[in-house]
Each structure stands twice: as C-alpha cells, then as structure tokens.
Structure 1
Amino acid sequence: MRSLLALPAGRRAKWLVLGLWLALVVVLGPLAGKLFSITQDDYVSYLPQSAESTRVVELRQKITAGSDQRAAVVYERSSGVTPADKARAERDLEKLKSKFTEADNGRPIRVETSRDGKALVYGITLPPNEKGKEGDAAKDAVKEIRATTGTGGDGLHVWVGGPAGVLADQLKSFEGLDVRVLLATVGVVAVLLLLIYRSPVLWLVPLLTVGLGAEVGQALVYAVAKDGAITVTSLSAFILVVLTYGAGTDYALLLIARYREELRRHEDRHEAMKAALRNSGPAIMASAATVGAGLLCLLAADLTSNKGLGPIGLIGVASALLAMLVLLPALLVILGRWVFWPAIPHYGSQAKESTRLWSRVASLVSNRPRRTWLVTAAGLVVLSGGLLTMNTDLREADGFRDRPESISAQDAMMRHFEPGLTRPAHVISNEDKADEVLSAVRGTPGVASAQPAGSRNGTALTIVTLDKAPDSDGEHRVLKDLRERVHAVPGGDALVGGHSAINMDLADSNVEDAKVVIPFVLLVILVILGLLLRAVTAPLVLIATVVVSFAAALGVSTLVFEGLFGFPAVDSSLPLLAFVFLVALGVDYNIFLMGRIHEEAARHGTRQGTVRGLTVTGGVITSAGIVLAATFAVLTVLPLVLWIELGFVVALGILLDTFIVRSVLVPALTVDLDRRMWWPSRLSRRPADDGTPGPRGDGPGANAEAKV
C-alpha cells in the first residue's frame, strides 16, 4: 500500500495522473451540474413504501382523479367578506377548474364561507404527476394558481397554501441555492487557506484540487441516483458540497504539512512527496474510511432521506480522498518548491515541528492530567444540560426562516375555520366495509366530521376533518387513536394517511432510525478504532469523549435556538444527523492525534509521547477543524430551520472537539491512564516513563501515521 500511495509522485507518473484527472473531469463534469435536477423534497418521498401514509397515497390515487397534492386558496377581509369578494372567488375558481381537476377528493369544489363571515376558502387538487416529480409539479401548479387569483387589494388578502403551497414555497426558496452554497463554500475555504498558508500561490492548489474532487463526487452521485437507486434531497446535495470541500481541505492540510517536513529532509522533491504519502497517506485513508463507515450506517435507517445520505456522503468523502492522495501530490510535485513562497522549505533547513502555544498547552495538560480531564469533562456535561429542554416537535409552519405565503394562508384558515380543515385525514378501506369504518371514524374523539369521498375497484375513501391544530400533539394523538380504531374493523383493511399523517410518520420514523443507527455507528467506529490502535481502552475512551462532545454541542445549540434564534423546537431528524456527522468527524481528528501520540509513546513513553504528539499535530489539526466547521456553517445561511440547525450544531460540535476534546480532554486522559490507555497491546506493558526511547510496540508501528 505504501508503494502504491507513492505512485503519483513519480517523475513520469505525475504527468499521467494530471492527464487522467483532466480527462475524468471532462467526462464527468457535465453530470455534476445535473445533480440538483433529481432532488426529491416531497415529504412522502422520504418515507419507505411500507409506511401507512405512503400506502394511503398510492391507494388514494386509484380512487380519485387528482394527486395527493392539494392547494388551498384563502380570501380574508378583517371587516367581513363582501358579495363582491365572493363573486371574485367564484370567478377565480371557475378559471382554475378548467386547468385542474374538477373535483376535490371526490366532492364538487365550492367556495366555503367561514362562520364569522371574514374569510372564504376552496381547495384545488392537483393533477396526477410522475413519481419523483411531485415537487416540480406542485411548484408549477401553485405558481399558476397564484397568477390566477392575485394577491387581493383594497383590504382583501388572498393567499394560496395547503400542502402543495408549502411544498411550492420550499422549492421556491431553494432556487439558486446550489450556486450560492458552492460560492460560499469556496469563498470560506479560500479565505481560510490564505490565512493558514500566508502564501499568494499555495492556497490555490488545494482549492483547485478539492473543487475538481467535488465535481467528480457530484457526478458520481447523479449517476447512481438518476434512476432512483437512492433518494437525493436538497439537504443531502448541499451536505455533499460542504462535506467534500471540508474533508478534502482537511486531507490537503495534513498532506501538505507532512510534505513540507519531508522537503527539508529530501533534496529531491519527488522523494519528499513519496515519503509524505507513505507516512501520512494511510492515516488520511483510515480517517476517511472511518467517516465513510459512520455515514454508511445510515443505510440501516428506514427513511429513504436518511438512508440515501449514507452513500451520498461516502461518495463525497471518497472523491475528496482520491483527489487529495492522487491529484494533489502530482500538482505539488509538478509545481516544485517555489509554490510555498515566501516560506520555502529548503533542503536541510530546520523544521518547525512545534509552536510555543501548543507546547504550553501540552505542558499544562501533562502536569495536572487528572484535574484537567475532570474539570473539562464536567464542563462538557454542564453544557449538555440544554438537552433537558430540547423539543423535537418542530411544526411545518415553523420550519421556514421567513414566513412564506403558504404559512400565511394556513394562519388565516386557523383564524376562521375548523383547525383540521387545513389538513384533512384520508382513510382508505375495503368498499364492502366502508360503513363500518365510517362509524369507527365518527366515533373517534377529536374527529369533527367525516364524509365518504368515493370508491373504485373495491376501495373506498373517507375524508376526515379533525378538531385539532395541524402538527400539534393533540392532532397526533387523534391520528394514532383513529388508526387503532379503524385497524380494529374486521376485514376493513383500513389505513389512515394525509399530509398530517405523513408528517407524523416522518417524526416517528426519525426516532426509530435514531434508535437503530446510533448504536450501529458507535459499534462500527469502536471496532475500527480497536483495529487501528490494536487496543481496547483507547477506543472506548475516544468514543466516550466524542459522545460527550456531541451532547454538549446539541445542548448548547438547543439553548441558542430557543433563546437567540427564536426557534420553538428542533427538527425530529436533527439529533440523528448531528450525531452521525459529529461522531464520525470527531473520531476522524482523534485518529490523527492518537496515531502520532502512539508513535511518540512507543519511543518516549505515554506522557512524553502525548506532549510531543500534541505539540506537533496541534496546529495542523486545529486548522483542519476550523476549515471543516466553517464549511458546515455555510448551511446556516439557508432558508429552512432544519438546515440552519444542522449547520450550527455540526460547526459548534467540530469546534468543541477541536479546541477542547482533542486538545485538552483526550491528551489529559491519555497521560492519566498512561500505559493502560493501550491495553492490551504490547505498548501497555512498556515500563513506566523514564525519558528514554522504548520499543516501538505492536500498534501503528514504526510510524503511526504510516499504519493507522
């Protein structure tokens, strides 16, 4: 493997590598631009086929002429609607009937007046659409409906909402985001690379390389997902961009740092790069494999949105790794030493393997290790206290950074109509048992009304209006009670769906996914760390520190979301997604640190090895952590609350891990546990520190970075 890693630095191979990469980009480049054309953001597409609400959608389409997407048009006048207002609504409805279906869930469409006389409403069921194209169809239809109805005037307000309106507003807010996210990510990485290298040229090389790697990654995801093999959401597409740039830049920082060292030891830059690849390449590969393995654990999820994120993230990390271990070495060798100007590392010059700052940190940690890790761990536990107030019931209406038209429509309906009018439930049953199912529905507490809406091919549809507000705990209780009652009808084969049921199934599935995926992630990463460090104690300690770091990040974020951002809750998918990214990425940095500590401990003992390892790696790993945190922070400028929350939590968690866990907590624990940290490897049987070099041990070996 070490020989293969050195190939891109060959005198002839470097040109071959450059040519192959250029050819690869030419072939795959056009596909990268198509990735956002296949994203699916309709919530029902997130659910598996086995979900009850998904089955209702499929069966319902066999009964009614329309799709499951429904828009609601609301007219409101605070002083009371006038006959002219109603006439206008009737005219608008007649125009829309000629463009869309003429029936709303099997019933004639008509304009309904609120009891207080201040609002009018009617629903438009959208035509059937191709699977996977629900979002585009909803966006186009709602745009046409809004063009027909206008926005009102002279005291009359007109809004278009409903599930179709919400989906359309979501997709409208995504327009142009792919370009903005890319530019923001590139800008963040460029600025940080300039600050880190303080060179007018060097920063361009890793930036160009990671950009080409990202292009390849997006193209590969498109090729895999275009036929529906995996579900690509807009969020997963954005994560692919920031993860590829963040991880790729991290790998570049680590490789370039080692290459700079080797240039001082080798007169020939080709030999220097070969040494850098042999020494740092396996560590970079191991860290990428750890992140990839953690992400692949999402394949155990039930939701297709979570399940698809696993291979998408893996492809991104793999593309970044390939670019940084193949293309970047070739480019650096082709360009020569001058690319480091003005701080050119000349052969025979003194290497700066330590800094005053990190030397002081290492000394403080090693002098009082037990007190240090106890205080640090206690502080993280206190920070995690915010989890006690965390509410994961984020309502759809609160999911936007701003309040779009569809949410204003929902608010207006809530002011003047029955709460459940905006979100009717759909009950599907066998036609010959429809009356019994209808009786069970009407006998359910919380049901305001229930009306048969047609039947076909032995299947009947009932439209149910609840007396609870959408996405409320009360609504979810009624829906679950309703399911229990209709399921109990013998031979009815009844199912309960609808937009609110879809949202409820999503939230419940996120909870179930977390129960399955989180233990799986911990087990997989624990096994990987055990194999890499050939120990039991160290992997357990590292996993524990990362979990505490995650809890602290989520706890602090919860308080920030409630107190500073004004978010009423967090999305139900946030804990799982944040956990997967923070644990995988947190362990990633610990691999680099512990690999170097293991190498130094084999020579100088655990205490001195920890001091030397932290001193040498502190600067470059901290720089890598800042870059990765900054790239994920790009998500906080996006329009949906979930995206903002995820970007903030991951960025904060990476910073906590970089500056506290990896810099203080882990080194202090390592010094305090001393040789017990490496149990049961040979290094755990090394005599107590005496300041003299010892055996290399059987862990990462002669060079930890070469074998980790």
Structure 2
Amino acid sequence: MTESRLEKLARMTIGRRGRWMTLAVWLIAAALLNIGLPKASDLKDDTLANFDASKPSVQAERLIAEQFPSGDGIPALMTWHRSSGLTDEDLAGIQKLAKRLAASPVPHQIAIVPHDKLPLPALKQQVSADGTTFVQPVLFEKNAGSDGFKAGLERLEQEAMPIFKEANPFGTKLEDGGLAVRASGPVGIAVDATGLFESADVSLLMATVLLVLLFLLLIYRSPVLALIPLVAVGFAYGAITPLLGWMADLGWIEFDSQSLSIMTVLLFGAGTDYCLFLIARFRSELKEEASTYTSLKRAFSGSSGAIAMSGLTVVISLLVLLAAEFGSIRRFAIPFSLAIFIMMLASLTLVPALLALLGRASFYPFVPKTREMALAHAKKKNKPAQAPRTKATLGDRLGESVVRWPKTIAFVTTAILLLCVVFATQIKYTFDTLSSFPADTPSREGFALIADRFNAGGLAPVQVIVRSQSEEQTESVRSTLASLPFVKSVAEPVKGATMTDLLRFEVELSVNPYSNEAIGHIPDLRQAAEDALEQPDKADETRVWIGGQTAEQYDTQQTTGKDARLLIPAIIILIALLLLAYLRSVVAMLYLIATVLLSYFSALGLGWIVLHDMFGTDAIQGLIPLYSFVFIVALGEDYNIFMIASIWKKARNMPLRRAVKEGVSQTGSVITSAGLILAGTFAVLATLPIQVLVQFGTVTAIGVLLDTFIVRPFLVPALTVLCGRAAFWPAAASKQERAAAQHR
C-alpha cells in the first residue's frame, strides 16, 4: 500500500462525511454478518482429528476398525474409592447400580460389565490389593461425542444417587474418607476436556475486556479514550466470529475451543496495540497543531504504514501455519490471521473515524493543547501567561542513555537474555493430555487412583498388529513382545475378520502409557515385532502397525517436531523478507530478526523457571515452543517495526544518534503501554484451569515483556547506534549519509 493510498484512505475515514460513513459501514456490516451468518461458537468441534490417514497410528486404528470390530464401545472407567477400604455395603451398591444400568441404560450406553451377577467374594477379588479402589467400566457408543458422553454421565449420577444415600459419591472429595467415584478413561477425559474449555470461554472474554479497560484507564486516565480501542475490538470481534462460522459452515475451515479462546486474547491484545499506535501519535500531534483534522491526518500518515506493516507481518506469519501437518496447529491459521487482518482494518478505518468524531474530547479530562491554546486558556482563567514547561520524560532520558553508552547497553542486555536462554536447555516436555488438566479434575483423579493401585498400563494398552504367515511367527512375536522389560503382559492374539493373516496383540505396558517413557518405547515395540517376523526379503512391505493412545502420542511428538523444523524457518524467512521490503536494509533486517529470536529463547528459559519453580510444573506441553514462537516473534517484530519506522523517518532530517534518541523517546511510552496490555491479556490465560493455556500464556507474556522492556528500548536502539550509517545499508545508505552530513 503506497503513501498516496494511505492519505486517500485518511481523507475517506476522517473527513466530515467520511467519518460518519465509516462508522455506518462498520455498524451495518457487523449487524448483517451477525444476523445472516452462524456464530463460530456454534460450529466449533473439540473432537477434530490431528492426523491424516498417512500416520501409523491412524492406519492401525483403521485396521482395528475394519478387521477387529468390537461392540465394546468407548469406556468410562467409574473408579470407586474409599481411603479406609471399600465396605461390603459399598460393593453391594455398585452391584445395584450395575443391575439398574443393565435394565435401564443411560443415554448412549451400550454395555456394562455384569458385576451384579458375581458373588461378593468374586467381586472382592477385583478390588485393588489395598482394598480401597474398584474400577467399573461402562461402555458408550463410539460416535456419541463429548456432549453425548456428558449426558450419559450426568444421567448415571442421577441413577446412583438413590443407591448411595450416605452422600453423593460424585461430589465427595477423595481426602474426606467417604465413598467417592471418578469417571476416568476415554469418556471421562473427553467430557472434562470439553467442560474445561466451555467454562473458560466466557470467563476469558470477561477477564480480557476488564484487564484491557483497567490498563487503558491507568495509562491514559481518560474514560473516553479507554473505550475507543474496546469499541474497535468489539466491532472487529462482531465481524470475525460470523465470518468464521460461515467458513466453517461451508466446510472450508475447522476450529476448536482452544483456537477460539486464544484468538480472543490475540484480538484484544494485538488489536489494542494497533489502536494505541495511532492514538499516541494523534495525542502528540494535538500538542503541535490546533486543527484536529490536520493533527489526525498527520498522525494517520505517520503511523498507518507501521500499523499496516505490523499487521501484515503477523497475518503472513500465522498463515504459514496452514503448512503444518498437526491439525491443532493448522487450525490456528485462519481464525488468528483473519482476526488480525480485520483488526488491522478497524485500526486504519474505524479508530480514525471515532477519533475524528470525538476530537480532543477523546482525551478528556487531560485534553492535549498546543502552546497557544495553553496560553489562551491561562489568560481566560486570569492566570499568569506562562508557556507550558517541557519536562524531560523517562523516554527522553532512556534515549539519551542509549546513544551515550550503546556498547555497554548492548553487552548487558545481551548477557541478560543469554543467561535466560541457558535455562531453556533444561526444559522437560510432555505429550500427556491428562497432565494439562487441573489435579482435581475427575478424570485425572480417577487415573491417579488406577495408576497407584493397579497397573497404569492397563488403562491404555498398546495395540500391536502384525501380518503373520505361520504359527511359528505368531508365537515368536508374542514371546518377543512379552520378553521386553517394559511390557507387563501380552494378551492372546486375535485374528482379523477377513484378513486372517492379520493378528492383533494387546500389549499392557508396565509404565504409565501417557508418559514420555512409554512414548519412547513405541519404536522398540515396532522393531521387536519386525525382528520376530524375520522376513528380510519383504522388508519394504508394512507388516507391523502400532495403535492405541501411546502410539497416537508418539505420532504427535514426531509430527509436531517435523512441523517445528518446517514452520520456524519459514516464518523467519517471511518476516525477514517483509522487513527487507519495508526497511530496505539488510543490516537492520538481520539484527531485528536476531533480537526477536533471542527474546524468544529467553522467554522459554525464563518461562520454565516460572512454571517449574513457582507453579510446580514437572514438564510443559510439547506444543508450547511452537505456539509461543509464532506469537513472540511476530508480535515482537511489531514493536521493532514501530520504533524503527520512527527512527528511519527522523534520520532523513537529522543525525542518526539524534534520530535514535528522539525515536526511542517518542515511541517509548506507547510501546510500553502496548506491551503491558498485550502481556496482560496473554497472562489472563494463566488464570484458566487448562495447563496448556497456562503454560502458553505464561511463556508468551514473558516474551512480550522482554521485548517491551529490554529488546525494544535498549538492545535494538543500541545496535542501531553501533551500526551507524551501515544500519541503512544498502538501499538508503547514500541518502542517509547525505542527510546526516547536512546536519553535522
């Protein structure tokens, strides 16, 4: 977008008619979109698959469904527990419940183990060795979905209430000593996952709005100004959600609750930043120019290029996620990039129109005045006509420090960031879904009970499928798998329905099937089965498939690692090209990319210290580094672009050191304000009960703060001073050199 087009856009949005037309267009568009299109929240799907059909675990599941069909369904493991030991009365109640569910199944229930037909002594043999825990499987339809599972569990609780009159076992705390039951297994995990995100949506939106409003009031002390960014974000949100719903309804895109939750934070955080870039420039111009229109036009001309460039940088970075194989990552691309793009449009159209309508009243009660206006106001109040004093601001002192001691500042800030990077090497990662739930989530509590009192591997056995051509090979596979030190037991093989040479072995591991240790054993299981088959002449033929939850987590680990190796370099290259096109400087592009990468790795290290030492996190989710990279790098470059754009523009008419000093001073307060708001919105995620969002929000907020308080005000300007005129190389070097020579 050229400067002339930006000026034309300014006239269209802030003119006497244009401002009203702009507001009307946004009002009508938002109303029509919400009336005519479905809402995104109605079309989110938390059961979306993360893999395509080429993944080994998916191929294994397909074979299981085709050749080893089972009416078993999906289990809900009702884990009964009494810390002092289950009584005969407790077990009798469990039998009554089994009889009632068999006679009158709850919604989507297809089967239940007939514990009611077992004599009490036989039932006691299924209780844990310490006598405290009993697992009662209830099987549900595979296609019921989380909503169907939830309805079934709620009805099951209603059926259990009249039987267990002591207290509601579903609400009894495990440490209270009474009879308690927790729904774990695949059904319990699915219900808890959906419930956590559903409860998070509304609270996240409210907390984000209140936080942004509070920050704006504290920073600008103007209730009117505080509402302008929120109004703009509200209009953008009103346009984005129906557009996402429309695209999902047409089958173009898919998204889940996690995508919408993070999109909300991104929209309010980054959207408010873009608004502040224009508002701060407008405020500065109002102190120099009496005409509100002229001030706003100058502010728009001076900031719109940086806003557009910052927005496009984030949009393009997010669109790169479409190349990801892992579904959860790929699903971020369209909602996030669309949100930033529409918010960028709102910042360049709706916000200028609102500022044009309100004028200086936008900043009430601290209305900015020109020198002449201040003198006239003093005369009117019969006060001594004194020109307003210009005090040195923190930004002025910061800019002076940077140009005076650039080497020292560059060395100290780099050393601080590198020290944080060291801690990033100590991070431990996990792909365990349950570990992202709060400790008191029913499914996690139930899993802990089963893992402690039974063998954890029994919760999610590994399914090993082989193509065997003889009884000797079959026995060789079974005995080889059983001899592995991490295998507790191997069930007798089951033949395929139509492909009788296919055999399924159910392998129960001796370790937690969700742990990194179990994931690491998947290649060992595959290799052991292949070695047992002993048919090297057909080594290119797939003869072993591994399925089950552990195999899915292994594919997650491998796929996300591959995505990271592809996406991270691609995003860096694209941002580098955008910076090169905007700044026309190879040198500046290189050190801007380097600084934001340094802040990213520093954020990982410092984030690990906070999460591990303060929050007690043993390991962070394996997706966090890639998630955080996209936002820290893309949003971090926003601040660099805004500040460097100011320095570049000033350097046309003054020496570089002075341009750096004034650029840091001019952009310091607005970038600090924007950084605090953006970091605050991501920090809101840390208040949610979902550990993956807590970890993502913590690391990203730390990265934004490092950019705001170390990289942007100290490191980048110091490097610019140290590079001198070489910072503009090659395109603008001669021009900047001539301009600087004229002002020496």
TM-score normalised by the chain length of structure 1: 0.89
Alignment of 1:435-454 (within 5 A): 436=473, 439-444=476-481, 445=484, 446-447=486-487, 448-452=489-493
What's the offset of the Cα at 1:83? 4.8
- Determine which of 385, 398, 402 is the counterpart of 1:361: 398
Equivalent residue, structure 1, for 2:601? 551
Aligned to 2:282: 259
1:161 deviates by 0.5
Q: Tell me how far apart the structure 2 counterparts of residues 71 and 427 of structure 1 sit (CA, whole Å).
A: 23
1:142 aligns with 2:153: yes
Name the structure 2 match of 1:35. Answer: 40
- Residue 55 in 1 paired to residue 59 in 2? yes
Separation in 2, partners of 1:430, 1:229: 39
Q: How far apart, CA to CA, are the structure 1 residues paired with 2:653 and 2:470?
A: 79
Contact 1:394 1:569 in 2 (8 A): no
Q: Distance in 2 between matches of 1:204 and 1:528?
A: 32
The 8 Å contact of residues 275 and 347 in structure 2, kept in 1 or not, is answered as yes
Rounded Cα–Cα distance in structure 1 between residues aligned with 2:327 and 2:194: 19
Q: Helix, strand or coil for the counterpart of 2:429? A: coil
Classify 1:513/1:442 alpha carbon distance in 2 versus 1 (closer, same or farther; 3 Å): farther
Q: Is the 8 A contact 1:597 1:610 kept in 2?
A: yes
Q: Does 1:102 align with 2:125?
A: no
Q: Distance in 1 between matches of 2:390 and 2:264?
A: 33
Q: After the TM superposition, which of the residue ranges 542-551 and 190-199 deviates more from structure 2? A: 190-199
Match of 1:25 among 10, 26, 30: 30
Alignment of 1:423-502 (within 5 A): 423-428=460-465, 436=473, 439-444=476-481, 445=484, 446-447=486-487, 448-452=489-493, 455-458=496-499, 461-486=504-529, 493-502=543-552
The residue type paired with residue 399 of structure 1 is S
Is the Cα–Cα contact under 8 Å of residues 653 and 739 in structure 2 kept in the other structure? no
Matched residues in 2 for 1:270 and 1:25: separation?
27
User: What SS does the corresponding residue of 1:602 show, helix, strand or coil?
Assistant: coil
Alignment of 1:623-642 (within 5 A): 623-642=673-692
Among the aligned pairs, what percent are the same residue?
Answer: 33
Paired residue for 2:668? Answer: 618
Q: Would the alpha carbon gap of residues 463 and 11 (structure 1) be closer, same or farther in structure 2, given more than 3 Å must change?
A: same
1:338 aligns with 2:330: no
Does 2:62 correspond to 1:12?
no
SS of the aligned residue for 1:284 comes to helix
Aligned counterpart for 1:320 among listed residues 343, 351, 358: 343
Using the TM superposition, give the Cα deviation of residue 533 of structure 1 relative to its aligned residue in structure 2, in angstroms. 0.7
Aligned 8 A contact 1:433 1:492 in 2: no
User: Structure 1 residue 116 and structure 2 residue 129: aligned?
Assistant: yes
What displacement does 1:197 show?
A: 2.0
Alpha carbons 1:38, 1:226 under 8 Å: kept: yes
Provide Cα deviations, 1:378-424, integer angstroms capped at 9, x if missing partner.
11101222112210126434322332111121122122222211111
Counterpart in 2 of 1:232? 255
| Residues 297 and 435 (structure 1), Cα distance of their counterparts in 2 relative to 1, 3 Å cut | farther
Equivalent in the alignment of 1:705: none
Instruction: Tell me if the contact between 2:75 and 2:186 (Cα under 8 Å) persists in the aligned partners.
Output: yes
Is the partner of 1:46 in helix, strand or coil?
Answer: coil
Give the alignment's TM-score, normalised by structure 2. 0.85
* Partner of residue 579 from structure 1, selected from 616, 629, 636: 629
In the TM superposition, residue 349 of structure 1 has moved relative to its aligned partner by 5.2
**Does structure 2 retain, via aligned residues, the 8 Å contact 1:486–1:492?**
no
What letter matches 2:244 in structure 1? V
Deviations 1:248-296 (A, max 9, x none): 1111111112223444555543443333323221210000001111112
Equivalent-residue separation in structure 1 for 2:471 and 2:294 (angstroms) = 79
Corresponding residue of 1:706: none
1:386 paired residue number: 423
CA contact under 8 A between 2:651 and 2:740: conserved in structure 1? no
The letter of the residue matching 1:306 is I
Whether the 8 Å CA contact 1:303–1:509 is kept in 2: the answer is yes
- What amino acid is the match of 1:284? I
Q: Which deviates the most, 313-322 or 27-36?
A: 27-36
Q: Distance in 2 between matches of 1:528 and 1:661?
A: 20
Q: Which runs of 5+ in 1 are unaligned?
A: 695-708
Q: What is the count of residue pairs matched by the alignment?
A: 687
Residue of structure 1 aligned with 2:696, choices 622, 646, 655: 646
Which one-letter code corresponds to 1:176 in the other structure? Answer: S
Larger Rg: 2
When residues 567 and 594 of structure 1 are mapped into structure 2, their CA distance, relative to the original with a 3 A threshold, is same
Aligned to 1:509: 559
Indicate if the aligned counterparts of 1:236 and 1:309 stay in contact, CA closer than 8 A.
Answer: yes
1:72 and 2:77 correspond: yes
Alignment partner of 1:245: what SS? Answer: helix
Please list the CA deviations of residues 415-474 of structure 1 after superposition, one character each: whole Å capped at 9, or x if unmatched. 222221111123455698899567525522133122446743437654332222232233
CA RMSD of aligned residues (A): 3.1
**Structure 1 pair 449–262 and aligned structure 2 pair: CA distance change class (3 A):** same
Q: How far apart in 1 are the matches of 2:562 and 2:602? A: 23
Q: Is the counterpart of residue 125 in structure 1 residue 139 in structure 2? A: yes
- Give the equivalent residue in structure 2 for 1:697: none
The offset of 1:353, in angstroms, is: 9.9
Q: Using a 3 Å threshold, how does the CA distance of structure 1 residues 307 and 487 change in structure 2: closer, same or farther?
A: farther
Change (3 A) 1:171 1:89: same
Q: Secondary structure at the match of 1:319?
A: helix
Residue type matched to 2:412 in 1?
A: V
User: 2: CA distance between counterparts of 1:385 and 1:525?
Assistant: 26
What residue number does 1:205 align with? 228
Q: CA deviation at 1:374?
A: 0.8
Q: 1:349 to 1:677 in 2, by over 3 A?
A: farther
Distance in 1, Cα, partners of 2:220 & 2:691: 35
CA contact (8 A) 1:145 1:160 kept: no
| CA distance in 2: counterparts of 1:452 and 1:125, whole angstroms | 23
Match of 1:701 in 2: none
Answer yes or no: is the 8 Å Cα contact 1:65–1:128 preserved in 2.
no
Q: Using the alignment, how far apart are the partners of 2:713 and 2:457 within structure 1?
A: 53
User: Which amino acid is 1:279 matched to?
Assistant: G
Contact 2:111 2:140 in 1 (8 A): no
Give the structure 1 partner of residue 313 of structure 2. Answer: 290
**Local SS of the residue matching 2:610:** helix
Q: Are the counterparts in 2 of residues 5 and 281 from structure 1 also a CA contact under 8 Å? A: no
Secondary structure of residue in 2 paired with 1:603: coil
- The more displaced of 620-629 and 327-336 is 327-336
> Offset at 1:662?
0.2
Alignment counterpart, residue 209 of structure 2, candidates 186, 189, 192: 186
- Provide the rounded CA distance (Å) in 1 between the counterparts of 2:97 and 2:61: 28
Please state whether the residue corresponding to 1:75 is helix, strand or coil: strand
Letter in 2 for 1:622: T
Contact 1:5 1:278 in 2 (8 A): no
Deviates more, 1:373-382 or 1:150-159: 150-159
Which residue of structure 2 lines up, in the alignment, with residue 698 of structure 1? none
Q: Is the 8 A contact 2:480 2:529 kept in 1?
A: no
For 1:197, the aligned partner's letter is Y
Helix, strand or coil at the partner of 1:456: coil
The C-alpha deviation readout for 1:18-59, integer Å capped at 9, x for no partner, is 2211111112235898323333334x7223332222333444
1:543 and 1:57 map into 2 onto residues whose CA distance is 43
User: Cα distance, 1:87 vs. partner?
Assistant: 3.9
**Residue 490 of structure 2 contacts residue 505 of structure 2 at CA under 8 Å; is this kept in 1?**
no
Give the Cα separation in 2 of the matches to 1:438 and 1:319.
62
One-letter identity of the residue aligned with 1:14: R
Q: How far apart, in 2, do the equivalents of 1:434 and 1:585 lie?
A: 61
Tell me which amino acid in the other structure corresponds to 1:398.
S
Quote how far apart the aligned CAs of 1:234 are.
2.0
SS of the aligned residue for 2:491 comes to: strand
1:503 CA drift (Å): 2.5
**Matched residue type, 1:126:** F
Cα distance in 1 between the residues matched to 2:732 and 2:196: 58
* Conserved 8 A contact 1:675-1:685: no
**1:72 counterpart SS class:** strand
Does the CA-based 8 Å contact 1:230-1:304 persist in structure 2?
A: no
Q: What residue in structure 1 maps to residue 382 of structure 2?
A: none
CA distance 1:295–1:465, shift in 2 (3 Å): same
